[in-house]
């Protein structure tokens, strides 16, 4: 083992089809396979470097729109009774400002950074599901454009970024705006969820051999934990959005207090998402800090294990404190205390990270470079935000400060301090990676100080403005309250802040165009003992990332990137060749990093773009009321997804494939623990979170929500049929697997499963249609329908999966060794059966439970 932790490179054994041993030829061969082509073909790109940059650039563009909206807000509030904007426009402006910043800037920006960096840091050539990455990007772009265009068309949402009911229900928001929010944000959030699944699978399975979990760079831990938080945290919002859209479109009274619904249910669902959301935003930024602070300090990060423990604690605790956004709704003091103490406790894992960073800086020799300046900005601003957060966690103080500009000041301090500043530090740190050039201008420092000063002039006085009684979301004020001077100061600061941001954009452009060439490892992380694999490649990086994959023998954040990079570029490592025109990377065991499988990834294709476009057409059709077009588009989306499934995997069995270093591994299609398997597992984790939220909503509406008594409810006998049919899938798929192993006919089994799934879906749907009590009459009836509808949806998807598997069996994609399709069908059928039976049981039990608060 050499000193840099890489196993001594062995001579390449000749594979089945040795293509290139010369680095230049290898580079060209890999580029041909991994690249998308020039011109319009760039829209078919699926590789992580291209898509990561696209995500970040698009997020930055949306950020600029959000900043412009903020300028409108500050212009309006600079003086009392300003005639600049009327309330109709102002309400749309501030709603979109928040919505854009939270959904179209923060999340996509951090996902883009993760997409770009994770495969590189982990020694993989790409993420696990490249077509899904592309699909996620296009959904983000189209969903975002729908929201932006709505403002230009004057139909933007206007009920605030958190869309409290009943203000966002149809009687009080009769226009299209709320539907734009619900559909547009759900469109974007589903894309974010798919990326979360992909990141989880990629970090757990696609790493360089030898990179066990404790050798992984800390950034990967941050992203892994964030991704899992997204899997559990986004579904409550998706459920709430679906329920609210159903209420608006079909008059199902989930949140309507006159018919047994409860406006507070929306708040619970929203904040169950909303609070973890802000930690989801903060953690990857903190991960970037944990990576670049050691580089700036010139020594490895202190407290790796303490930080991992802190991250796990933070991930869990952040899900247990959402009610601190609801301290003024009349929660009993006992419950309030639980959430107040929890909110204070979450400061502990945060403090552990802050002091680990301080320790790292204190025990190193910090170099005064641009990223460090932004680290200072982070410390100053985020810490203040954290402190005002602790203040807000104290309920008596909260009862004064809630819904005032004090809160606005607080969350800008934590979000700008805890996300924007670290991301700018990351920008300056990784810009040389993307552009291949380093900074030479001092414009960056001017930009920083302008921005830093402007930010503080805007938001520091705002704490006082709030404590003097100025509420949030008011389009004007009278002028006698004593708020005028403070607002004028904040508005002036706002413009300075915006100028600072613009200067940063200029500085970045200048560096990209005129900076001095940086070469490999421009920050000299190797010499400083903190080298990671992302620097072990030329800058800008080639499209395929690594010409060969390394064997990792020690910590993957203490490498010598220049030495490793030279070896890998020369093809000395795993997969240092092109075979059959395939895009290959390695799959490893989750904990130990032992190499397990060769993962063959799909090449560039336009399918993700077409699928996202068709979905956008469906969304727009629903918004425009053209329901038949929406249905046709939905069918189109399903068809395109089936088409995408048909082309995945391999058409024949393969023997073990040589991968270099004397090792041969099976292709992923012939391994049970392959990326698609884990992809479905984690998708079901998210789905389960959605189901759990639905169960919570059902029990909440029945047991806790006040309101008129529900009518007598029952369920038709179709329930037995649905339950029986739901059990066919698990049995049939097991039969198919057994037949597959024995070389017998699988078709009949799959056909039986398909029939069972269709009957189940039909029975569930018929239950709703023939319900004794109209679901619109009372929230209990509506939530029964929702539970049954969940069963129907999952049975229907099961049917589609069995259809897809059947087609692929006919196409020769399924064999005794290649049984992934059948495994996926079995997993889904099991999940659909269990949740279907639970949903049925709860729907039946609901009327038998006492109705609380009636």
Partner 1 sequence: MKTPGFWRLTAGFGVWASALIWFYAINGVGCAMGWDAQRPALTLALVAHLCILGWLAARMHGDDLLGSVGVWCARAAFAAIALTFAPALALSVCR
Partner 2 sequence: MVAGSAVLTAVVLTPFALAVLRPGSLQGVSTRTWIVGGGLVLPALVLTPLLGWALVAGERMQPGRGDALRIEATGEQWRWIFRHPDAGVETQDVLHMPAGRPVEIALTSRDVIHSFWVPRLAGKLDAIPGRTTVLRFVADAPGTYEGVCAEFCGLDHAHMRFNVVVHAPQDYAAALAQAAKGLAKDAP
Site string for partner 2, 546-585 (x = CB under 8 A): ----------------------------------------
Q: Which residue has the tokens 């706002």?
A: 494
Shortest Å distance, C-beta 368 to partner 2: 7
Between 343 and 740, CB nearer to partner 2? 343
Between 413 and 497, CB nearer to partner 2? 413
Site string for partner 2, 164-183 (x = CB under 8 A): x-xx---xx-----------
Which residues contact partner 1 (rule: CB under 8 A)?
213-214, 305-306, 308-309, 312-313, 315-317, 319-320, 332-335, 337-338, 341-342, 345, 348, 590-592, 672-673, 677, 700, 703-706, 850, 852-853
Q: Is 400 in the site for partner 2 (CB under 8 A)?
A: yes
What residues have CB less than 8 Å from 407, skipping those under 6 apart?
Answer: 392, 401, 466, 472
Which one of 53, 145, 242, 344 is in contact with partner 2 (CB under 8 A)? 344
What residues have CB less than 8 Å from 270, skipping those under 6 apart?
Answer: 162, 163, 164, 236, 237, 240
Between 521 and 596, CB nearer to partner 1? 596
Residue 402 binding partner per list partner 1, partner 2, none, with a CB distance cut-off of 5 to 8 Å that depends on partner kind? partner 2
Peptide bond into 646 cis (omega under 30): no
Contact between residue 570 and residue 597 where contact means Cβ atoms under 8 Å apart: no
Segment holding 664, helix H or strand E = strand 663-665
Rounded to whole angstroms, the Cα distance separating 769 from 763 reads: 10
Q: In 3D, which of 701, 681, 684, 683 has the Cα closest to residue 786? A: 701
Shortest Å distance, C-beta 13 to partner 2: 45
Q: Is 154 in the site for partner 2 (CB under 8 A)?
A: no
Peptide bond into 535 cis (omega under 30): no
Q: Is 384 in the site for partner 2 (CB under 8 A)?
A: yes
Q: CA Rg, the chain, in Å?
A: 27
Q: In 3D, which of 570, 439, 416, 573 has the Cα closest to residue 516? A: 439
Rounded to whole angstroms, the Cα distance separating 367 from 230 reads: 35
Rounded to whole angstroms, the Cα distance separating 821 from 766 reads: 30
834 three-class SS: helix
Which one of 154, 174, 175, 471 is in contact with partner 2 (CB under 8 A)? 471
Helix, strand, coil distribution of the chain in percent, nearest 5 = 65, 5, 30
Residue 364 binding partner per list partner 1, partner 2, none, with a CB distance cut-off of 5 to 8 Å that depends on partner kind? partner 2
The token pair that represents 287 in the structure block: 């991960």
Q: Which residue has the tokens 């083992």?
A: 1
What residues have CB less than 8 Å from 212, skipping those under 6 apart?
Answer: 591, 592, 593
The token pair that represents 46 in the structure block: 């699926």
Residue 610 binding partner per list partner 1, partner 2, none, with a CB distance cut-off of 5 to 8 Å that depends on partner kind? none
Residue 715, phi then psi, degrees to nearest 5: -130, 140
Residue 625 binding partner per list partner 2, partner 1, none, with a CB distance cut-off of 5 to 8 Å that depends on partner kind? none
CA 472 distance to own-chain centroid: 28
Site string for partner 2, 84-103 (x = CB under 8 A): ---xx--x------------
Residue 384 binding partner per list partner 2, partner 1, none, with a CB distance cut-off of 5 to 8 Å that depends on partner kind? partner 2
Give me the half-sphere count of Cα atoms (radius 13 Å) on the Cβ side of residue 460: 12
Q: Is 772 in the site for partner 2 (CB under 8 A)?
A: no
Which one of 11, 341, 738, 854 is in contact with partner 2 (CB under 8 A)? 341
Look up residue 542 and give its DSSP letter.
P
Shortest Å distance, C-beta 460 to partner 1: 32
Q: Is 72 in the site for partner 2 (CB under 8 A)?
A: no
Q: Which residues between 265 and 304 bind partner 2 (CB under 8 A)?
A: 297, 302-303
Residue 765 binding partner per list partner 2, partner 1, none, with a CB distance cut-off of 5 to 8 Å that depends on partner kind? none
Residue 335 binding partner per list partner 2, partner 1, none, with a CB distance cut-off of 5 to 8 Å that depends on partner kind? partner 1
Q: Is 530 in the site for partner 2 (CB under 8 A)?
A: no
Q: Binding segment for partner 2 among 317-325, 402-410, 639-647, 737-745 (CB under 8 A)?
A: 402-410
Q: Which residues between 638 and 657 bind partner 2 (CB under 8 A)?
A: none
Which one of 25, 28, 32, 365 is in contact with partner 2 (CB under 8 A)? 365
Shortest Å distance, C-beta 152 to partner 1: 43
Rounded to whole angstroms, the Cα distance separating 79 from 59 reads: 32
Q: Which residues between 311 and 330 bind partner 2 (CB under 8 A)?
A: 328-330
Which one of 319, 355, 610, 696 is in contact with partner 2 (CB under 8 A)? 355
Rounded to whole angstroms, the Cα distance separating 411 from 422 reads: 16
Between 734 and 776, CB nearer to partner 1? 734
Residue 309 binding partner per list partner 2, partner 1, none, with a CB distance cut-off of 5 to 8 Å that depends on partner kind? partner 1
Q: Is 468 in the site for partner 2 (CB under 8 A)?
A: yes
Shortest Å distance, C-beta 169 to partner 2: 8
Q: Binding segment for partner 2 among 446-454, 500-508, 542-550, 701-709 (CB under 8 A)?
A: 701-709
What residues have CB less than 8 Å from 403, skipping those under 6 apart?
Answer: 328, 471, 472
Residue 697 binding partner per list partner 1, partner 2, none, with a CB distance cut-off of 5 to 8 Å that depends on partner kind? none
The burial of 794, by beta-carbon neighbours within 10 Å (0-12 exposed, 13-18 middle, 19 or more buried), is given as buried
Contact between residue 726 and residue 795 where contact means Cβ atoms under 8 Å apart: yes
Which one of 16, 17, 31, 258 is in contact with partner 2 (CB under 8 A)? 258
């Amino acid at each position: 083992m050499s000193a840099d932790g890489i196993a001594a490179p062995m001579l390449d054994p000749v594979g089945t089809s040795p293509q290139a041993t010369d680095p230049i030829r290898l580079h060209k061969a890999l580029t041909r396979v991994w690249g998308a082509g020039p011109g319009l073909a760039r829209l078919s790109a699926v590789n992580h470097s291209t898509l990561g940059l696209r995500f970040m650039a698009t997020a930055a563009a949306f950020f600029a729109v959000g900043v412009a909206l903020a300028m409108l807000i500050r212009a309006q509030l600079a003086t009392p009774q300003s005639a600049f904007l009327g309330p109709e426009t102002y309400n749309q402006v501030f709603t979109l400002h928040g919505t854009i910043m939270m959904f179209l800037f923060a999340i996509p920006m951090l996902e883009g950074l993760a997409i770009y960096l994770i495969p590189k840091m982990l020694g993989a050539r790409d993420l696990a599901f490249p077509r899904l990455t592309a699909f996620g990007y296009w959904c983000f772009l189209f969903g975002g454009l729908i929201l932006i265009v709505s403002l230009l068309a004057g139909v933007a949402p206007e009920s605030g970024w958190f869309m409290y009911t009943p203000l966002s229900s149809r009687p009080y928001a009769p226009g299209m705006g709320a539907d734009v929010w619900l559909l547009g944000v759900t469109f974007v959030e589903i894309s974010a969820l798919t990326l979360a699944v992909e990141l989880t699978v990629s970090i757990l399975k696609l790493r360089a051999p030898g990179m066990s979990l404790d050798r992984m760079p800390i950034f990967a831990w941050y992203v892994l934990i964030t991704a899992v938080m997204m899997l559990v945290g986004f579904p409550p919002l998706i459920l709430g959005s679906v329920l609210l859209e159903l209420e608006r479109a079909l008059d199902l009274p989930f949140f309507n207090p006159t018919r047994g619904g409860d406006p507070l249910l929306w708040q619970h669902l929203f904040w169950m998402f909303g609070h973890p959301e802000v930690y989801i935003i903060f953690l990857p930024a903190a991960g970037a800090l944990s990576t670049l602070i050691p580089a700036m300090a010139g020594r490895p990060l202190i407290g790796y294990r303490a930080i991992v423990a802190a991250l796990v604690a933070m991930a869990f605790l952040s899900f247990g404190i959402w009610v601190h956004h609801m301290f003024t709704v009349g929660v009993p003091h006992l419950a309030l205390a639980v959430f107040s103490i929890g909110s204070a406790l979450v400061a502990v894992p945060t403090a552990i990270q802050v002091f680990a960073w301080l320790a790292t800086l204190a025990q190193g020799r910090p170099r005064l470079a641009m990223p460090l300046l932004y680290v200072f900005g982070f410390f100053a601003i985020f810490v203040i935000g954290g402190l005002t957060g602790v203040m807000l966690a104290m309920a008596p103080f909260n009862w004064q400060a809630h819904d005032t500009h004090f809160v606005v000041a607080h969350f800008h301090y934590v979000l700008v301090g805890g996300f924007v500043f670290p991301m700018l530090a990351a920008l300056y740190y990784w810009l040389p990676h993307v552009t291949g050039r380093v900074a030479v201008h001092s414009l960056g420092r001017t930009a920083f100080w302008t921005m830093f000063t402007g930010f503080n002039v805007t938001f520091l006085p705002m704490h006082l403005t709030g404590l003097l009684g100025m509420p949030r979301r008011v389009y004007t004020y009278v002028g006698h309250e004593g708020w005028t001077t403070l607002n004028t100061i904040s508005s002036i600061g706002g413009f300075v802040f915006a100028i600072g941001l613009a200067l940063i954009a200029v500085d970045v452009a200048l560096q990209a165009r005129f900076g001095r060439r940086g070469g490999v490892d421009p920050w000299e992380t190797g010499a400083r003992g903190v080298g990671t694999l992302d620097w072990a490649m030329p800058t800008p990086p080639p499209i395929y990332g690594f010409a060969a994959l390394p064997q990792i023998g020690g910590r993957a954040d203490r490498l010598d990137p220049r030495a490793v990079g030279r070896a890998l570029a020369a093809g000395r490592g795993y997969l240092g060749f092109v075979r059959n025109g395939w895009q290959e990377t390695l799959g490893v065991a989750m904990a130990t990093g032992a190499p397990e499988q060769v993962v063959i990834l799909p090449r560039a294709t336009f399918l993700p773009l077409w699928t996202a476009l068709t979905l956008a057409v469906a969304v727009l059709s629903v918004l425009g009321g053209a329901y038949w077009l929406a249905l046709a588009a939905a069918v189109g989306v399903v068809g395109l997804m089936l088409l995408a499934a048909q082309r995945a995997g391999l058409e024949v069995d393969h023997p073990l494939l040589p991968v270099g270093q004397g090792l041969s591994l099976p292709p992923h299609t012939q391994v049970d623990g392959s990326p698609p398997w884990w992809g479905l597992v984690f998708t079901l984790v998210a789905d389960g979170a959605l189901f759990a939220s639905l169960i919570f909503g059902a029990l909440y509406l029945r047991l806790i929500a006040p309101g008129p008594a529900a009518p007598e409810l029952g369920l038709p006998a179709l329930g037995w049929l649905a339950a029986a049919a739901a059990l066919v899938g698990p049995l049939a798929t097991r039969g198919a697997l057994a037949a597959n192993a024995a070389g017998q006919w699988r078709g009949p089994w799959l056909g039986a499963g398909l029939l069972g799934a269709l009957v189940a879906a039909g029975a569930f749907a018929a239950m709703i249609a023939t319900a004794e009590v109209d679901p619109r009459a009372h929230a209990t009836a509506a939530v029964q329908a929702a539970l049954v509808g969940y069963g129907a949806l999952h049975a229907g998807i099961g049917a589609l999966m069995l259809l897809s598997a059947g087609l692929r069996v006919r196409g020769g994609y399924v064999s005794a060794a290649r049984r992934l399709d059948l495994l996926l069908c079995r997993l889904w059928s099991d999940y659909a059966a269990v949740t279907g039976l639970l949903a049925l049981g709860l729907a039946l039990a609901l009327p038998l439970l006492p109705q609380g608060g009636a």
